[in-house]
Amino acid sequence: MIRKIAVLPGDGIGAEVAQGAVEILQAAAHRFGHHFHFQYGEIGGTAIDNTGNPLPEETVELCKNSDAVLLGAVGGPKWDKQPPHLRPERGLLKIRNDLQLYANLRPVSLHSSLSESSPLKKEVIEGTDLLIVRELTGGLYFGKPSERTTYEGKEAVVDTLFYQKEEIERIIELSFEIAGKRNKKVTSVDKANVLESSRVWRETAEEVAKKYPDIELTHMLVDNAAMQLIKNPRQFDVVVTENMFGDILSDEASVLTGSLGMLPSASISASGPHLYEPIHGSAPDIAGKNTANPLGMILSAASMLRLSFGLEEEAQAIEKAVSDVLENGSRTADLAHSGKETLGTREMIAEIKTSLLDQEAIANIMGAYA
Ligand code: IPM
Ligand code: MN
Protein backbone atom coordinates (compact mmCIF):
# COMPACT_ATOMS: atom_id res chain seq x y z
CA MET A 1 0.00 0.00 0.00
CA ILE A 2 1.23 3.50 -0.85
CA ARG A 3 -0.07 6.40 1.21
CA LYS A 4 0.70 10.10 1.68
CA ILE A 5 0.78 11.27 5.28
CA ALA A 6 0.93 14.94 6.27
CA VAL A 7 2.88 15.49 9.50
CA LEU A 8 2.29 18.71 11.45
CA PRO A 9 4.60 18.53 14.49
CA GLY A 10 3.54 21.96 15.87
CA ASP A 11 5.00 23.30 19.12
CA GLY A 12 6.66 22.17 22.34
CA ILE A 13 6.79 18.40 22.72
CA GLY A 14 4.76 18.09 19.49
CA ALA A 15 7.92 17.64 17.42
CA GLU A 16 9.38 15.04 19.78
CA VAL A 17 6.28 12.85 19.83
CA ALA A 18 5.52 13.30 16.10
CA GLN A 19 9.00 12.01 15.36
CA GLY A 20 8.08 8.90 17.35
CA ALA A 21 4.94 8.29 15.30
CA VAL A 22 6.88 8.66 12.04
CA GLU A 23 9.60 6.23 13.16
CA ILE A 24 7.08 3.64 14.29
CA LEU A 25 5.08 3.98 11.07
CA GLN A 26 8.28 3.55 9.08
CA ALA A 27 9.04 0.40 11.03
CA ALA A 28 5.50 -0.88 10.43
CA ALA A 29 5.78 -0.05 6.72
CA HIS A 30 9.06 -1.95 6.56
CA ARG A 31 7.60 -4.96 8.34
CA PHE A 32 4.37 -5.17 6.37
CA GLY A 33 5.65 -4.00 2.99
CA HIS A 34 3.94 -0.60 2.69
CA HIS A 35 5.18 2.76 1.48
CA PHE A 36 4.29 5.80 3.53
CA HIS A 37 5.39 9.18 2.23
CA PHE A 38 5.69 11.77 4.97
CA GLN A 39 5.42 15.45 4.12
CA TYR A 40 5.83 18.07 6.82
CA GLY A 41 3.76 21.21 7.35
CA GLU A 42 3.76 24.07 9.83
CA ILE A 43 1.03 24.88 12.32
CA GLY A 44 0.69 26.81 15.59
CA GLY A 45 3.31 29.01 17.22
CA THR A 46 6.12 27.74 15.04
CA ALA A 47 4.10 28.69 11.97
CA ILE A 48 3.43 32.14 13.45
CA ASP A 49 7.16 32.66 14.01
CA ASN A 50 8.09 31.52 10.51
CA THR A 51 5.19 32.82 8.41
CA GLY A 52 3.12 35.18 10.57
CA ASN A 53 0.13 32.80 10.29
CA PRO A 54 -0.86 29.97 12.69
CA LEU A 55 -2.11 27.94 9.72
CA PRO A 56 -0.42 28.85 6.43
CA GLU A 57 -2.42 28.04 3.30
CA GLU A 58 0.31 25.58 2.16
CA THR A 59 -0.40 23.51 5.27
CA VAL A 60 -4.11 23.32 4.46
CA GLU A 61 -3.29 22.32 0.86
CA LEU A 62 -0.80 19.73 2.04
CA CYS A 63 -3.41 18.18 4.34
CA LYS A 64 -6.12 18.17 1.68
CA ASN A 65 -3.74 16.42 -0.72
CA SER A 66 -2.78 13.74 1.81
CA ASP A 67 -4.46 10.48 2.77
CA ALA A 68 -4.24 11.26 6.49
CA VAL A 69 -2.82 13.89 8.83
CA LEU A 70 -0.73 13.43 11.97
CA LEU A 71 -0.55 16.36 14.38
CA GLY A 72 1.70 16.80 17.42
CA ALA A 73 0.46 19.68 19.57
CA VAL A 74 0.23 23.47 19.45
CA GLY A 75 0.62 26.37 21.87
CA GLY A 76 2.98 27.77 24.46
CA PRO A 77 3.53 30.76 26.77
CA LYS A 78 5.57 32.52 24.10
CA TRP A 79 2.38 33.27 22.16
CA ASP A 80 -0.01 33.82 25.09
CA LYS A 81 -0.11 37.57 24.67
CA GLN A 82 -0.90 37.47 20.95
CA PRO A 83 -4.24 38.78 19.63
CA PRO A 84 -6.83 35.99 19.12
CA HIS A 85 -6.22 35.54 15.39
CA LEU A 86 -2.49 35.11 15.99
CA ARG A 87 -2.68 32.47 18.69
CA PRO A 88 -1.35 28.97 17.95
CA GLU A 89 -4.70 27.43 18.96
CA ARG A 90 -6.37 29.35 16.16
CA GLY A 91 -4.36 27.25 13.70
CA LEU A 92 -5.69 24.07 15.28
CA LEU A 93 -9.29 25.29 15.24
CA LYS A 94 -8.93 26.38 11.63
CA ILE A 95 -7.56 23.06 10.43
CA ARG A 96 -10.44 21.30 12.24
CA ASN A 97 -12.84 23.60 10.44
CA ASP A 98 -11.14 23.53 7.02
CA LEU A 99 -10.96 19.73 6.96
CA GLN A 100 -14.48 19.43 8.48
CA LEU A 101 -13.22 17.27 11.32
CA TYR A 102 -16.58 17.12 13.04
CA ALA A 103 -16.03 14.15 15.34
CA ASN A 104 -13.16 13.63 17.73
CA LEU A 105 -12.87 10.08 19.05
CA ARG A 106 -11.02 9.75 22.34
CA PRO A 107 -10.81 6.15 23.55
CA VAL A 108 -10.01 5.61 27.22
CA SER A 109 -8.97 2.08 28.03
CA LEU A 110 -6.67 0.81 30.66
CA HIS A 111 -3.41 -1.00 30.00
CA SER A 112 -3.55 -3.46 32.88
CA SER A 113 0.15 -2.96 33.58
CA LEU A 114 -0.57 0.73 34.26
CA SER A 115 -3.24 0.29 36.92
CA GLU A 116 -0.68 1.39 39.53
CA SER A 117 -0.12 4.67 37.66
CA SER A 118 -3.76 5.74 37.89
CA PRO A 119 -4.72 8.15 40.67
CA LEU A 120 -7.79 5.98 41.28
CA LYS A 121 -7.99 2.66 43.07
CA LYS A 122 -7.39 -0.42 40.98
CA GLU A 123 -10.87 -1.83 41.73
CA VAL A 124 -12.47 1.37 40.42
CA ILE A 125 -10.61 1.60 37.12
CA GLU A 126 -10.11 -2.04 36.19
CA GLY A 127 -12.12 -2.95 33.11
CA THR A 128 -12.59 0.69 32.05
CA ASP A 129 -13.10 0.86 28.30
CA LEU A 130 -14.95 3.90 27.09
CA LEU A 131 -14.94 6.15 24.08
CA ILE A 132 -15.60 9.87 24.22
CA VAL A 133 -17.10 11.16 21.00
CA ARG A 134 -16.56 14.90 21.12
CA GLU A 135 -18.25 17.24 18.64
CA LEU A 136 -15.33 19.22 17.21
CA THR A 137 -16.43 21.94 14.80
CA GLY A 138 -19.28 23.70 16.59
CA GLY A 139 -20.45 25.05 19.93
CA LEU A 140 -18.60 27.69 21.93
CA TYR A 141 -15.37 27.11 20.02
CA PHE A 142 -16.76 28.49 16.77
CA GLY A 143 -19.92 30.51 17.58
CA LYS A 144 -20.03 34.18 16.61
CA PRO A 145 -19.96 36.72 18.13
CA SER A 146 -16.95 35.94 20.30
CA GLU A 147 -15.56 39.27 21.43
CA ARG A 148 -15.06 41.93 24.02
CA THR A 149 -17.83 44.49 23.84
CA THR A 150 -19.77 47.00 25.92
CA TYR A 151 -23.15 46.59 27.52
CA GLU A 152 -25.05 49.58 28.86
CA GLY A 153 -21.87 51.59 28.56
CA LYS A 154 -19.77 49.12 30.57
CA GLU A 155 -17.14 46.56 29.63
CA ALA A 156 -18.62 43.20 28.67
CA VAL A 157 -17.74 40.05 26.78
CA VAL A 158 -19.58 37.44 24.75
CA ASP A 159 -18.93 33.92 23.42
CA THR A 160 -21.67 32.13 21.51
CA LEU A 161 -22.83 28.53 21.78
CA PHE A 162 -24.27 27.84 18.34
CA TYR A 163 -25.25 24.54 16.71
CA GLN A 164 -27.20 23.68 13.62
CA LYS A 165 -29.54 20.80 14.31
CA GLU A 166 -27.83 18.77 11.55
CA GLU A 167 -24.48 19.10 13.30
CA ILE A 168 -25.97 17.62 16.45
CA GLU A 169 -27.66 14.86 14.51
CA ARG A 170 -24.57 13.68 12.63
CA ILE A 171 -22.36 13.41 15.72
CA ILE A 172 -25.02 11.55 17.68
CA GLU A 173 -25.64 9.25 14.74
CA LEU A 174 -21.94 8.48 14.50
CA SER A 175 -21.83 7.60 18.19
CA PHE A 176 -24.75 5.17 17.77
CA GLU A 177 -23.01 3.57 14.80
CA ILE A 178 -19.85 3.13 16.85
CA ALA A 179 -21.77 1.86 19.90
CA GLY A 180 -23.27 -0.80 17.64
CA LYS A 181 -19.76 -2.19 17.15
CA ARG A 182 -18.94 -1.92 20.88
CA ASN A 183 -21.09 -2.55 23.95
CA LYS A 184 -24.28 -0.98 22.59
CA LYS A 185 -24.56 1.82 25.14
CA VAL A 186 -24.60 5.55 24.42
CA THR A 187 -24.42 8.13 27.19
CA SER A 188 -25.35 11.55 25.85
CA VAL A 189 -23.92 14.29 28.06
CA ASP A 190 -25.53 17.72 28.23
CA LYS A 191 -26.66 20.49 30.57
CA ALA A 192 -30.33 20.30 29.66
CA ASN A 193 -31.44 21.66 33.03
CA VAL A 194 -29.94 25.04 32.06
CA LEU A 195 -29.04 25.37 28.38
CA GLU A 196 -31.48 25.51 25.47
CA SER A 197 -28.79 24.09 23.20
CA SER A 198 -28.61 21.07 25.51
CA ARG A 199 -32.38 20.60 25.43
CA VAL A 200 -32.21 20.40 21.61
CA TRP A 201 -29.22 18.08 21.95
CA ARG A 202 -31.25 15.78 24.21
CA GLU A 203 -34.30 15.78 21.92
CA THR A 204 -32.07 15.01 18.96
CA ALA A 205 -30.48 12.10 20.82
CA GLU A 206 -33.98 10.73 21.49
CA GLU A 207 -34.90 11.04 17.81
CA VAL A 208 -31.71 9.34 16.63
CA ALA A 209 -32.14 6.56 19.21
CA LYS A 210 -35.42 5.50 17.56
CA LYS A 211 -33.38 4.31 14.56
CA TYR A 212 -31.18 2.13 16.80
CA PRO A 213 -33.54 0.01 18.92
CA ASP A 214 -30.78 -2.36 20.06
CA ILE A 215 -28.72 0.45 21.57
CA GLU A 216 -29.38 1.77 25.05
CA LEU A 217 -29.40 5.56 25.37
CA THR A 218 -28.87 7.33 28.70
CA HIS A 219 -28.80 11.09 29.24
CA MET A 220 -26.46 12.51 31.83
CA LEU A 221 -25.88 16.07 32.98
CA VAL A 222 -22.30 17.15 32.49
CA ASP A 223 -21.60 17.89 36.16
CA ASN A 224 -22.84 14.44 37.11
CA ALA A 225 -20.85 12.90 34.24
CA ALA A 226 -17.67 14.50 35.61
CA MET A 227 -18.38 12.83 38.94
CA GLN A 228 -19.46 9.45 37.51
CA LEU A 229 -16.25 9.24 35.46
CA ILE A 230 -14.15 8.98 38.57
CA LYS A 231 -16.71 7.16 40.69
CA ASN A 232 -17.63 4.37 38.30
CA PRO A 233 -15.94 4.68 34.90
CA ARG A 234 -16.86 1.10 33.96
CA GLN A 235 -20.51 2.12 33.49
CA PHE A 236 -19.63 3.95 30.25
CA ASP A 237 -19.31 2.65 26.72
CA VAL A 238 -19.75 5.49 24.20
CA VAL A 239 -20.06 9.01 25.61
CA VAL A 240 -21.21 11.65 23.13
CA THR A 241 -21.11 15.33 23.91
CA GLU A 242 -20.65 18.84 22.56
CA ASN A 243 -17.29 20.44 21.94
CA MET A 244 -16.50 22.18 25.24
CA PHE A 245 -17.91 19.47 27.52
CA GLY A 246 -15.95 16.90 25.52
CA ASP A 247 -12.74 18.88 25.88
CA ILE A 248 -13.09 18.99 29.65
CA LEU A 249 -14.35 15.45 30.23
CA SER A 250 -11.69 13.88 28.03
CA ASP A 251 -8.84 15.40 30.04
CA GLU A 252 -10.50 14.11 33.17
CA ALA A 253 -11.03 10.66 31.68
CA SER A 254 -7.47 10.45 30.38
CA VAL A 255 -5.83 10.24 33.79
CA LEU A 256 -7.92 7.19 34.62
CA THR A 257 -5.49 5.36 32.37
CA GLY A 258 -2.43 6.60 34.21
CA SER A 259 -1.45 9.67 32.23
CA LEU A 260 -2.72 12.28 29.82
CA GLY A 261 0.28 11.29 27.70
CA MET A 262 -1.25 7.88 26.91
CA LEU A 263 -4.38 8.99 25.10
CA PRO A 264 -4.70 8.94 21.32
CA SER A 265 -7.43 10.62 19.34
CA ALA A 266 -8.86 10.51 15.85
CA SER A 267 -10.67 13.44 14.29
CA ILE A 268 -13.06 12.21 11.64
CA SER A 269 -13.77 14.31 8.58
CA ALA A 270 -17.08 14.60 6.82
CA SER A 271 -15.34 14.84 3.47
CA GLY A 272 -11.54 14.60 3.36
CA PRO A 273 -8.62 13.07 5.24
CA HIS A 274 -8.94 12.33 8.94
CA LEU A 275 -6.52 13.83 11.46
CA TYR A 276 -4.81 11.98 14.32
CA GLU A 277 -3.33 13.62 17.39
CA PRO A 278 -2.66 12.79 21.02
CA ILE A 279 -5.08 14.56 23.35
CA HIS A 280 -2.27 16.16 25.35
CA GLY A 281 -0.96 19.65 24.68
CA SER A 282 2.47 21.00 23.83
CA ALA A 283 3.74 20.82 27.45
CA PRO A 284 6.21 23.72 27.10
CA ASP A 285 7.64 23.03 30.56
CA ILE A 286 9.17 19.75 29.41
CA ALA A 287 9.71 20.55 25.72
CA GLY A 288 13.13 19.68 24.33
CA LYS A 289 14.05 17.65 27.42
CA ASN A 290 13.47 14.21 25.94
CA THR A 291 11.02 13.37 28.74
CA ALA A 292 7.63 13.51 26.97
CA ASN A 293 5.56 10.35 26.70
CA PRO A 294 5.30 9.50 22.97
CA LEU A 295 2.69 6.75 23.45
CA GLY A 296 -0.44 8.89 22.92
CA MET A 297 1.00 9.99 19.58
CA ILE A 298 2.14 6.48 18.62
CA LEU A 299 -1.28 5.06 19.47
CA SER A 300 -2.83 7.84 17.36
CA ALA A 301 -0.70 6.61 14.45
CA ALA A 302 -2.06 3.10 15.06
CA SER A 303 -5.62 4.50 14.88
CA MET A 304 -4.67 6.14 11.59
CA LEU A 305 -3.65 2.78 10.12
CA ARG A 306 -6.92 1.24 11.29
CA LEU A 307 -9.43 3.99 10.47
CA SER A 308 -7.91 5.72 7.44
CA PHE A 309 -6.12 2.85 5.72
CA GLY A 310 -8.03 -0.22 6.96
CA LEU A 311 -4.74 -1.78 8.15
CA GLU A 312 -6.11 -3.59 11.20
CA GLU A 313 -3.26 -6.09 11.61
CA GLU A 314 -0.66 -3.33 11.42
CA ALA A 315 -2.57 -1.20 13.94
CA GLN A 316 -2.80 -4.12 16.33
CA ALA A 317 0.90 -4.84 15.94
CA ILE A 318 1.74 -1.30 17.09
CA GLU A 319 -0.75 -1.50 19.97
CA LYS A 320 0.75 -4.82 21.02
CA ALA A 321 4.25 -3.36 20.92
CA VAL A 322 3.08 -0.58 23.25
CA SER A 323 1.41 -3.05 25.64
CA ASP A 324 4.43 -5.36 25.65
CA VAL A 325 6.87 -2.57 26.39
CA LEU A 326 4.68 -1.35 29.26
CA GLU A 327 4.30 -4.92 30.48
CA ASN A 328 8.09 -5.15 30.61
CA GLY A 329 8.09 -2.23 33.02
CA SER A 330 9.35 0.53 30.71
CA ARG A 331 7.99 3.91 31.80
CA THR A 332 8.41 7.53 30.78
CA ALA A 333 8.55 9.98 33.69
CA ASP A 334 4.79 10.70 33.70
CA LEU A 335 4.04 7.00 34.30
CA ALA A 336 6.86 6.02 36.63
CA HIS A 337 6.65 5.76 40.39
CA SER A 338 9.09 8.02 42.19
CA GLY A 339 12.49 6.46 42.56
CA LYS A 340 11.94 4.07 39.66
CA GLU A 341 14.08 4.24 36.55
CA THR A 342 12.52 6.15 33.64
CA LEU A 343 13.02 6.15 29.89
CA GLY A 344 13.41 9.26 27.76
CA THR A 345 11.16 9.95 24.78
CA ARG A 346 13.70 8.68 22.25
CA GLU A 347 14.49 5.58 24.29
CA MET A 348 10.78 4.74 24.62
CA ILE A 349 10.35 5.13 20.85
CA ALA A 350 13.34 2.84 20.29
CA GLU A 351 11.86 0.18 22.60
CA ILE A 352 8.52 0.23 20.78
CA LYS A 353 10.33 -0.08 17.46
CA THR A 354 12.40 -3.02 18.66
CA SER A 355 9.31 -4.71 20.03
CA LEU A 356 7.44 -4.18 16.75
CA LEU A 357 10.27 -5.65 14.71
CA ASP A 358 10.84 -8.49 17.21
CA GLN A 359 7.23 -9.58 16.68
CA GLU A 360 8.17 -10.04 13.03
CA ALA A 361 11.28 -12.04 13.86
CA ILE A 362 9.23 -14.28 16.14
CA ALA A 363 6.53 -14.67 13.47
CA ASN A 364 9.23 -15.67 10.96
CA ILE A 365 10.66 -18.30 13.28
CA MET A 366 7.18 -19.70 13.94
CA GLY A 367 6.60 -19.70 10.18
CA ALA A 368 9.78 -21.66 9.57
CA TYR A 369 8.67 -24.39 11.99
CA ALA A 370 5.03 -24.46 10.90
C1 IPM B 1 -7.67 19.63 22.76
C2 IPM B 1 -6.99 20.93 23.12
C3 IPM B 1 -7.49 22.02 22.22
C4 IPM B 1 -8.98 22.14 22.43
C5 IPM B 1 -6.79 23.37 22.40
C6 IPM B 1 -5.30 23.30 22.26
C7 IPM B 1 -7.37 24.42 21.49
O8 IPM B 1 -7.19 21.21 24.46
O9 IPM B 1 -7.50 19.17 21.62
O10 IPM B 1 -8.35 19.05 23.60
O11 IPM B 1 -9.43 22.80 23.37
O12 IPM B 1 -9.72 21.55 21.64
MN1 MN C 1 -8.27 19.68 25.56
CA Rg value for the chain: 21
Q: Which atom of ligand 1 is nearest to the CA of 243?
A: 12
Regarding the beta carbon of 247 and ligand 1, being less than 6 Å apart is answered yes
Of all protein residues, whose CA lies closest to atom 4 belonging to ligand 1?
Answer: 247
Q: How far is the CA of 281 from the centre of ligand 2 (A)?
A: 7
Closest CA to 75 of 100, 43, 104, 29: 43
In order along its 370 residues, the chain shows pLDDT tens digits of: 999 999 999 999 999 999 999 999 999 999 999 999 999 999 999 999 999 999 999 999 999 999 999 999 999 999 999 998 999 999 999 999 999 999 999 999 988 888 888 899 999 999 999 999 999 999 999 999 999 999 999 999 999 999 999 999 999 999 999 999 999 999 999 999 999 999 999 999 999 999 999 999 999 999 999 999 999 999 999 999 999 999 999 999 988 988 899 999 999 999 999 999 999 999 999 999 999 999 999 999 999 999 999 999 999 999 999 999 999 999 999 998 877 899 999 999 999 999 999 988 887 887 888 7
Regarding the beta carbon of 92 and ligand 1, being less than 6 Å apart is answered yes
The model's pTM is 0.95
Of all protein residues, whose CA lies closest to atom 5 belonging to ligand 1?
Answer: 89
Q: How many helices (H) and strands (E) does the chain have?
A: 12, 12
Instruction: Give dist(CA 102, CA 107) in Å, integer.
Output: 16
Question: For a pocket test of ligand 1, which of 89, 159, 241 has the largest count of ligand atoms closer than 8 A to its C-beta?
Answer: 89
Coil/strand/helix, residue 298: helix
Q: Which residues carry out catalysis? A: 141, 191, 223, 247, 251
Closest CA to 190 of 224, 161, 233: 224
Closest CA to 56 of 75, 80, 40: 40
Do 223 and 189 meet the contact criterion of CB atoms below 8 Å apart? no
List, in order of start, the domains of the chain with CATH numbers: 1-109+260-370 (3.40.718.10), 119-257 (3.40.718.10)
pLDDT of residue 319: 97
Regarding the beta carbon of 277 and ligand 1, being less than 6 Å apart is answered no
Q: Which atom of ligand 1 is nearest to the CA of 250?
A: 10
Regarding the beta carbon of 11 and ligand 1, being less than 6 Å apart is answered no
